[in-house]
Structure 1
């Protein structure tokens, strides 16, 4: 598996890249998790988009929202790994790449809204819980913060 990584702003995305990113997010969040929700929330336009490509297919992606878009801090969200590529540490690799980018930009902290079943995963990356559990689109979440 020779993975290629891409990081682009909204303005740099091609229409094909945007389509493929949104299709993967819908495949996982809407279809697999059976969670009908409005993915196009306006935040993508103010975000950096990081993704992994294998054999010309996007297999993992996330977005990094600038400060003030979701929270006062930078935030990472819409983290997705294609089902057949899970268990290969891609989630950890893409998160580490995103965190590294925020550190290069001088950010002091990164906040996320994590699905509760993934809280242990995010704790391995240094995130700490900073809220009580809450429902987002019918799925239990918790806010977590990483101090760079």
Structure 2
């Protein structure tokens, strides 16, 4: 069972931030071979969800996403950087991340539409949460993406 923690950027400890950056680089840059600027300027204004497991000498970051308030990136609320660590995949944490992200948005930004830039292969997954495509497929850093809204 993961320990779920919401943090604003200033609340992240140095160690938590390091684990977030390391996981995002491991999956999005190295595993998916996508060369891009991860520090995109949106982290400071976002809410960060960390799903961790206790460990020695430090906890293990197993799952992560960030929620962007309306007006930060899009007029709508958004979430992104949805990620599970390779060693814990197929345990349902991706679904839990999306559900927790949507619940957070509904609580903190009631009535706000939600817009995401999803990796295209996940379109059906997000349609299961009520998202619908609003763009054609486009290339973002070598990975096919599609904009979706709910």
TM range (shorter): over 0.9
Q: Residues 69 and 78 of structure 2 are in contact (CA less than 8 Å); yes or no, is this contact kept in structure 1?
A: yes
Partner of 1:98: 101
List per-residue Cα deviations over 1:50-95 (Å, max 9, x = no partner): 0100132110101111112211011101111111111111001011
Contact 2:70 2:112 (C-alpha < 8 Å) held by counterparts: no
**Cα offset, 1:139, TM superposition:** 1.0
Contact 2:119 2:145 in 1 (8 A): yes
1:50-69 equivalence runs, <5 A: 50-55=49-54, 56-69=59-72
- The Cα RMSD (Å) is 0.9
- Give the conservation status (yes or no) of the 8 Å contact 1:10–1:44: yes
SS class of match (1:31): helix
* 1:118 aligned onto 2:118: no
Counterpart of 1:130? Answer: 134
In structure 2, the partner of 1:48 is 47
TM-score, structure 2 as length reference: 0.93
Q: Could you tell me which runs of 5 or more consecutive residues in structure 2 were left unpaired when the two chains were aligned.
A: none
Indicate the residue corresponding to 2:21 in structure 1: 22
Tell me how far apart the structure 2 counterparts of residues 119 and 61 of structure 1 sit (CA, whole Å): 19
Deviation (angstroms), 1:108:
2.2
Give the superposition deviation at 1:27: 0.3
Distance, in Å, in 2 between the alignment partners of 1:32 and 1:76 is 21
Distance 1:72 1:114 in 2: 17
Runs of 4+ in 1 over 2 A off after TM superposition: none
Mark the runs of 5 or more structure 1 residues left unpaired by the alignment.
Answer: none
Per the alignment, residue 82 of structure 1 pairs with: 85
How many residues align structurally? 145
* CA-CA distance at 1:28 after TM superposition: 0.2
